[in-house]
Chains A and B, each alone.
Chain A
Amino acid sequence: MKGEKIRVLIAKLGLDGHDRGAKIVARALRDAGMEVIYTGLRQTPEQIVETAIQEDVNVIGLSILSGAHTHLFPRLMELLKENKVEDIVVIGGGVIPEEDIYGLKKIGIAEVFTPGTNTRDIIEFIKKKVK
């Protein structure tokens, strides 16, 4: 990765329209020197994986505040496997209860950032993961 910009896809998974967090994270990552693509609202796991492959990203950041993460995150991880792009680092954010996070990490979500997170922590996490 040396010298190359880290490429990140920020995606709104599911139907909720809360995009304040997603847009702030997208902007913070961009300000930190990463190449950021933001999908906009209402993305299905299929659409997100397709965009991730097309855009050749290193990281997918999923934002969801509707509570549908337990259904949609596993589907997305399956699709990454099917398309043989499991090397993409997947992180999540939003209103996600602590008790769900363990299960999400088990299926391969690298980290879940909940309300109150400092964007610097997200930037550092990504930089450490994508080397």
Chain B
Amino acid sequence: MFNEEEIKNIKKSREEWGNNAIKNTFERFSERKDKFVTGSGKEVARLYTPDNLKEFDYNRDLNFPGEFPYTRGVQPTMYRGRLWTMRQYAGFGSAEESNKRYKYLLEQGQTGLSVAFDLPTQIGYDSDHSMALGEVGKVGVAVDSLKDMEMLFDGIPLDKVSTSMTINAPANILLAMYIAVAEKQGVSLNKLKGTIQNDILKEYIARGTYIFPPSPSMRLITDIFEFCFKEMPQWNTISISGYHIREAGATAVQEVAFTLADGIAYVEAAIKIGLNIDDFAPRISFFFNAHNDLLEEVAKFRAARRLWAKIMKERFRAKNKKSLMLRFHTQTAGCTLTAQQPDNNIMRVTIQALAAVLGGTQSLHTNSKDEALALPAEDSVRIALRTQQVIAYESGVTETIDPLAGSYYVETLTNEIEKQALEYIEKIDKLGGAPQAIEKGFIQQEIQNSAYQYQKEIEEGKRVVVGINKFRTKEEIPKGLLKVNPEVERCQLEKLRELKKTRDNQKAKANLDALERAAQTETNLMPIILDCVKSYVTLGEICNVLRSVFGEYKESVKL
């Protein structure tokens, strides 16, 4: 960017500035703190100048939007062509209630759906399982069989909306149900657009909704890769998630490193079963967190994009441009929301959402202000969606591409995050890759250490959280929180009983037997799972068969 002579001059005048202006100022007053740090605790210099970017090469490090290494974005026109997809994660209670919420969100201008399932569904239990007691319909919608899925998307044309489903261990089953609903609507598979999270490694690391051990879980994932490559070319077959890793306490660097390390493991698993890199890699997508430190987050997104492009090109020799592009969804950081003075969360979410947009996200969920207290009420969900719309239509940041590029600070941070994330990935490679690093507890331990450090800083007052350790007020008891209808569990049990009475039980049994046999071979399980769900075999029944063949994962906890 600058020639050597210029850099030398800048360096010299910077020294003079330090010796004069800064020194003189210090004689009158010192700085607010001894050490200035980013949200992730990285030390920040007083000032960034061209001196920090001595090695900077525009074409190599940034290039143009839509060009390798995609630092400036994955599309040539970015938000000038099309805004990001506004996609609020939602679902609670019964399929009927969630269907109503989806229709409300679509009426309010939301452009894609994002389905939250309840915990029994995510862990492969039907609503009548003893482990499901008290959990049915609580953190998402309860789906036991295709019947619930039909209701969930009733009146929503699946060829018009794109749908993201946060489902991992039983991803194949929910994807099969979605396909079955589409077929009933007369929509062909190649028209379906959306994403299935399908990322088991981060479940072991941070999110906790695993069922099976790593090896059969990886096979279920690559089954989806292969099936979708043939049948659903517009479907994102995985959403490799740093979101939950960050929520568990990771730093920005750790979020990038552990997410991309997981990504490497999936790519290796797919290559191992004989898939061609450029057949499946274009449908890989990512999911990141947007935390409070605006500029560090922007740098993080840019660094992640550049690093993934290099990994795909250099490590895996991908040729298709689409294989190199890191496309991602973002959600604002739930862990930054405070139960105290919940209105303040609106401002936090605004800053975080702005970071996601300045970082070039493809879709975005903005959290609601009341989520440290309960599931969000309709009013707060609307404010959260409006926050995105204000950024999109009023803030002006969408009018040009990657507007923070060239900032000495942002480029320096981007370089540093990329470098440090790569160092972590090399360490994980030495441990044998992400699955082994997880098994050894390395990744979890690193995250726990960061989380503990962060908490200590808050408690020692080194890190200010408005309304928590500074600017506190007397709290009023919040009103208007969402309560999940307590009838859901009972209704769900009734529906299950009715289903098992009215379906063709012989056919259901035959399909389950076929699944059990297929699971013991290496054949792709998607077609037989599709047969199962179409004959109204329940999610719990399918998972029980797979549990009996694959076994269950047991976490090893270290503190």
Contacts and interface: CB of A to CB of B under 8 A. Distances in A.
Interface string A71-93: 11000000000000000000000
Contacts of A23: 448, 451-452, 559
A53 interface: no
Contacts of A67: 135, 138-139, 374-375, 484
Given A14-B134, A119-B459, A98 B338 contact: no
A71 B134 contact: yes
Nearest to B338: A116
B380 interface: no
A115 B375 CA distance: 14
B203 A97 contact: no
A26 B247 CA distance: 18
A16 B208 contact: yes
Contacts of A30: 559
Interface residues of A, number: 35
Contacts of A28: 452, 455
B373 interface: yes
B481 interface: yes
B459 to A, nearest CB: 5
Interface string B206-218: 1111000000000
Interface string A14-38: 1111111001101110100000101
A53 to B, nearest CB: 20
B203 A14 contact: no
A52 B451 CA distance: 26
Residue of A24, A67, A71 most packed against chain B (CB within 10 A):
A67
B496 interface: no
B22 interface: no
A110 interface: no
Given A67-B484, A98-B477, A15 B120 contact: yes
Nearest to A15: B119
Given A15-B123, A17-B208, A24-B455, A70 B134 contact: yes
Nearest to B341: A116
B555 interface: yes
Contacts of B249: 20, 24
Contacts of A24: 249, 451-452, 455
A17 B373 contact: no
B518 interface: no
Contacts of A17: 203, 206-209
B551 to A, nearest CB: 16
Contact of A66 (B119, B339, B340, B455): B119
B248 interface: yes
Contacts of A116: 338-340, 372, 465, 468
Contacts of B248: 19-20
B166 to A, nearest CB: 12
Contacts of B510: none
A68 interface: yes
B133 interface: yes
Nearest to B371: A95
Nearest to B486: A70
A95 B555 contact: no
Contacts of B207: 17
B131 A15 contact: yes
A38 B557 contact: yes
A57 to B, nearest CB: 15
A4 interface: no
B464 interface: no
A54 interface: no
Nearest to A119: B459
A115 B339 contact: yes
A130 B451 CA distance: 28
B471 to A, nearest CB: 13
B478 interface: yes
Given A24-B451, A40-B557, A98 B478 contact: yes
Residue of B139, B337, B372 most packed against chain A (CB within 10 A):
B139
A36 B374 contact: no
Contacts of B335: 20
Residue of B123, B134, B374, B557 most packed against chain A (CB within 10 A):
B134
B133 A71 contact: yes
Interface in B182-205: 203
Given A20-B247, A23-B559, A116-B340, A95 B135 contact: no
B138 to A, nearest CB: 4
Interface in B466-515: 468, 477-478, 481, 484
8 contacts: A15-B123, A18-B208, A24-B249, A24-B451, A36-B559, A41-B208, A98-B478, A115-B339
Given A67-B375, A68-B138, A97-B373, 17 more contacts: A14-B134, A15-B209, A16-B208, A17-B207, A17-B208, A18-B208, A18-B247, A19-B248, A20-B247, A20-B335, A67-B138, A67-B374, A67-B484, A71-B133, A71-B134, A95-B374, A97-B374
The 10 A-B pairs at the shortest CB distance, nearest first, are namely: A17-B208, A71-B134, A68-B134, A15-B119, A67-B138, A115-B339, A40-B557, A115-B372, A68-B135, A41-B208
